[in-house]
Chain A
Amino acid sequence: QQPVQSPQAVILREGEDAVINCSSSKALYSVHWYRQKHGEAPVFLMILLKGGEQKGHEKISASFNEKKQQSSLYLTASQLSYSGTYFCGTEEEDSNYQLIWGAGTKLIIKP
């Protein structure tokens, strides 16, 4: 079942912070975060693993609450380059290594 992302869209001024949420109804092995700019391929940002380990981006942080099957992506002091659509992908415990993708959160950063 598709994870639910919120909000669907957010508009910020440069330098402001944003939080994007991803919520699943299934038990998860991990949550992946990707950013896609218009007309381009998604780019990997971060993986959050069961047990608290994180792998990924230096300037973007995230959390993973395993009990609630929820992850949040924190974008602090946003830059114009952060604009794009953010997708979470969840690995469920019985998923045969597939990622189940959320519908995306569109982030617009204004100068």
Chain B
Amino acid sequence: DGGITQSPKYLFRKEGQNVTLSCEQNLNHDAMYWYRQDPGQGLRLIYYSQIVNDFQKGDIAEGYSVSREKKESFPLTVTSAQKNPTAFYLCASSIRGFNQPQHFGDGTRLSIL
């Protein structure tokens, strides 16, 4: 079955450490997205990519970095510059263009040690 796989499900970060969240999809989608969700809040866009080797900052990109070297993969690195990284991180993908539903992975819950 096609879908989006995020790993790990839970992640703990130490002070000063960079951590990388994995997102892989086999839906053959061009567009991929990273969102941050804080408790009781909506989704805020961190980065998005419409095509391989190209990506754009979303509303809250500071302290995060991404790469898009393969169509299937869009890893997110939470750097030590992100001072408040504790949140639920969601990866999504869609067909490129307007009016396309986004399909989500199961999320990664990141906490500070």
Of the listed stretches B12-20, B64-72, B78-86, B98-106, chain A binds: B98-106
Taking CB atoms, residues of chain B closer than 8 Å to A2 are: 42
Interface residue from B43, B50, B58, B98 paired with A42 (Cβ < 8 Å): B43
Which residues on the A side are within 8 Å of B111 (C-beta)? none
| Secondary structure of the B contact surface, majority rule | loop
Q: Which residues of A contact B103 (CB under 8 A)?
A: 44
Q: How far is the CB of A21 from chain B (nearest CB, A)?
A: 15
Interfacial residues of chain A within 26-60, with CB under 8 A of chain B in the complex: 29-30, 32, 40-44, 47, 49, 55
Binary contact track A70-105/B, C-beta < 8 Å → 1, others 0: 000000000000000001010100001111011110
Whether B99 pairs with A99 at a CB distance below 8 angstroms is no
Q: Given the known A-B contacts A97-B96, A98-B45, A101-B43, are A41 and B31 also in contact in the complex, defined by CB atoms under 8 Å?
A: no
Question: Which residues on the A side are within 8 Å of B50 (C-beta)?
Answer: 96-97
B76 at the interface (CB under 8 A from A): no
- Flag if A47 contacts B104 (CB, 8 Å): no
With beta carbons under 8 angstroms apart, the residue of B31, B43, B98, B99 that contacts A87 is B43
Does A29 contact B99, Cβ atoms closer than 8 Å? yes
For chain A, the count of residues having a C-beta within 8 Å of the partner chain is 23
> Is the pair B99, A98 in contact by a Cβ cutoff of 8 Å?
no
Q: Count of B residues near A, CB < 8 Å?
A: 23
CB-defined contacts of B96 to chain A, threshold 8 Å = 97
> Contact at A91–B41, with CB atoms within 8 Å?
no
- A98-B42 in contact (CB<8A): no
Contact pick for B99, options A44, A91, A96, CB 8 Å: A91
CB of A106 to closest CB in B, whole Å:
8
Contacts of B45 in A (CB 8 A): 98-99
19 A-B residue pairs with Cβ-Cβ distance under 8 Å, sorted by A, are A2-B42, A29-B99, A32-B102, A40-B106, A41-B104, A41-B106, A43-B104, A44-B101, A44-B103, A49-B99, A87-B42, A89-B102, A96-B56, A97-B31, A97-B97, A97-B100, A101-B44, A103-B41, A103-B42
Seen from chain A, the residues whose Cβ lies within 8 Å of a Cβ on chain B are 2, 29-30, 32, 40-44, 47, 49, 55, 87, 89, 91, 96-99, 101-104
